[in-house]
Amino acid sequence: MELWVTERQTPTHAISMRSTATLESMQTPYQHLAVVDTEQWGRMLVLDGMVMTTERDEFVYHEMMVHPALSTHPHPRDVLVVGGGDGGVIREVLRHRSVQRAVLVEIDAEVLRVSQKHLPSIACALDDARVHVICGDGYAHIAEHRDAYDVILVDSTEPVGPAVSLFTKGFYQGIFEALRDDGLFVAQSDNPWFKADLIRTVTRDVAAIFPIMQLYTAHIPTYPSGLWTFTMGSKVHDPRAVDARHIAVQGTKYYAPSLHHAAFALPKFVADLVARDA
């Protein structure tokens, strides 16, 4: 008998992957968690029925969440990751030699545990000396810190359950205050095919708080629609002003100096989601 794992990306559209084994399936205090081996994409973390990360295409999302931001900030030293319990964003943050402290605030301890057990290629940097893992609510952490970080990366689940608060204007205001004077942040902002309204709201709210707001994209085959967006809010540094010749990050497979600027070139139907005055 064939086993298929299906994510219903909308009520009428789904993605299915033939799988060979289920390694974990549990209800945590926050969400349903599964780890599945798939033939096409390798091992996969699934939360509340949504693909979080797969061994085969994870590098795209994790590199594009991190490197546009840490290539835009001239000297990122203290970095905060909200969510990100699979460890992929932290692994990419540590590629930047200027980073002295990488704090990860993940609400669900089980995500950390199973990622380190079953996804070692993704979670490999969580025990690095520069990394400080906090099991807690990212919203609360942001509210308790001011002028503390150079870069903040919001690697959260979709706005459901504990992540609802991470898509609010109040959270973005808290991020503004937790950042230093020339700080910047990036949040994953879902896909333009099924979540256009979310992108409209996130970009509008970030643009109302940060002097610089930019949307950019990446191609992630196992995410809904395959076209993913990220929203950057910056107090001073503009990602479009970066001199690509000075981008020095090593070991990436998707991000590259030439791609840094290209990622901010939006298809017209995506650009139209960003308010004119943004």
**38 binding ligand SAM? (CB under 6 A):** no
Q: Which residue is nearest to ligand SAM (CB)?
A: 83
**167 binding ligand SAM? (CB under 6 A):** no
Judged by CB, which is closer to ligand SAM: 47, or 131? 47
Residue selected from 86, 92, 150, 205 as contacting ligand SAM according to rule CB under 6 A: 86
Segment contacting ligand SAM by CB under 6 A, of 160-168, 174-182, 206-214, 250-258: 160-168
Q: Which of 86, 108, 155, 190 is catalytic?
A: 155
Which string of DSSP letters, residue by residue, matches the chain?
A: --EEEEEEEETTEEEEEEEEEEEEEEE-SSSEEEEEEETTTEEEEEETTEEEEETTTHHHHHHHHHHHHHHHSSS--EEEEEE-TTSHHHHHHTTSTT--EEEEEES-HHHHHHHHHH-HHHHTTTTSTTEEEEES-HHHHHHT-SS-EEEEEEE--SSSGGGGGGGSHHHHHHHHHHEEEEEEEEEE---TTT-HHHHHHHHHHHHHH-SEEEEEEEE-TTSTTSEEEEEEEESS--GGG--GGG----S-SS--HHHHHHTT---HHHHTTS-TT-
Catalytic: 137? no
Residue selected from 48, 137, 177, 238 as contacting ligand SAM according to rule CB under 6 A: 137
Contact string 190-229 vs ligand SAM (x = CB under 6 A): ----------------------------------------
Residue selected from 15, 24, 30, 257 as contacting ligand SAM according to rule CB under 6 A: 30
Residue selected from 156, 201, 229, 231 as contacting ligand SAM according to rule CB under 6 A: 156
Active site residues: 155
* Residues that bind ligand SAM in the complex, under the rule CB under 6 A: 30, 47, 52-53, 61, 82-86, 105-108, 111, 137-139, 155-157, 162-163, 165-166, 188
